[in-house]
Structure 1
Amino acid sequence: MVKLGFIGAGTVGTALSVKLSKAGYPIVVVSSRSQTSARKLAQVIGGCLPVGSNQDVADAAELVFVTTPDDAIAPVVSQIRWHEGQSVVHCSGADSTDILQPARKTGAYVGVFHPLQTCADAKRAIENIPGSTFALEAEEPLLTTLKDMATALDAYWIELKARDKVIYHASAVIACNYLVTLVKLATDLWQTFDIPRHQAIRALLPLIRGTIHNIDAVGIPQCLTGPIARGDTGTIKKHLNALRKTAPGLLSTYRELGLNTIPIALAKGE
């Protein structure tokens, strides 16, 4: 099986290397800005050598994952002497293989292996990988290798073109990051009637989980409930009046979300 190396021992690098190791892939070498992080990861995996330079990773591994912060990928890749026939893969959601051009010029295969998953920390990222989807961008034979890796991780995969990456990543931000924002805004309203945030979150989480379950079980638009789905304009007017008095800063957000919900409600009613 192909020998893997990791440049970057942060959350994504740790989660992927641990899961791939458990799936039978040999992780032979790792480097990181922090030698402590590289040593810790090597100890967790076993049989993995922590090294002091990124070049050492490129010299020892047949397939190198560059799991640095996105802005560091291109500079890191440009400073390494790559070898013809080896593979270089990054895990950025928004960037294409274009930032791996220095490796491609040397005859290396280049690709993208982006986990469509929230990675709050390494432990939770490891737990969340099974069942996730990986966005792949590569040419053969590397593409098949990445597909096999996703399958070995009990995950799904999709192929993307370079031109699709930014919109794909924007979609992920809306679904993940902005969900956090919506929950924050909702719990802010609870504090106007003296319910602290931790209690508001405890109360709202079953509602959120129920909504996600309905999306999964019956799909969009059938999962939509609430006043817009019912055509209850009276309740919407009450909401707008209350927000105007209590939380005027939320009015534009509420209106915009409502306007985008109307087509879903109409589709459900057809």
Structure 2
Amino acid sequence: MTIETSVSNGIARLVLSRPEKRNAFDGGMIATITDILKEWSQLNDIRALVISAAGETFCAGADLGWMKRTANLDYQANRDDARKLAGMMEGIDHFPAPVITLVQGAAFGGALGIVCASDIVFASSDARFCLSEVRLGIIPAVISPYVIRVMGERAARRFMLTSELIDSQKALAMGFIHQLVDQPEDLPEQAEQVLTLLKNNSPAAVRACKQLIADVSGRPINSQLMEMTSEAIANIRQSSEGQEGLSAFLEKRSPAWQEKE
């Protein structure tokens, strides 16, 4: 089994479970993850998705055997294959609920795309990152929109071109991760703390806020943006959870979504 999945109490969990291959992904693994994300995206009761990995390595990137097979493909087949990886990255980036990713050990190549497409990332102090593609004569094309969005063009000009190793402290400073923990075994506890915070918030508002961030990021501040954001707040104020949240605040009680936990 290359992927382990579960959904319990509103939390979906996806575990990369191929430790003998350092959790490197191939075409089958990409297709499985993409299908799972599509299925879970339709479930409104999912409050968050946690992505983690078995073993000492988060993900070594692409499986060497898979890469060897792609080298023998023609242009169209290579393009189709790359689109599948792009679909998986898009599925993580556009997942309607918050995506929390836990990183231990190496996150190389395409694995850095998973990290940068996630909403919240925690890593252990032994974590290390690398955009290693140019060493292999290729480029980090499919993951580049997510990676450059996080690290910025200036940093990309260095680290994509040199393929140098990025340690956990530097990854924290560059924004790849939000927080470090001492040991890999501390990662689940850190995730649970954030999940508790998320569960205190309105599920509909959290989803709408994630979409708002995507809609606003990178856009110029103009009348069109102001109209869009005004419509967004009007819609959420009129929603059932918006009304419940305001009523609970005024009545000094817990909102219904907290009472149900």
TM-score, reference length from structure 2? 0.26
Higher RCO structure, 1 or 2 (CA under 8 Å, sep 6+): 2
Q: Which has the larger radius of gyration?
A: 1
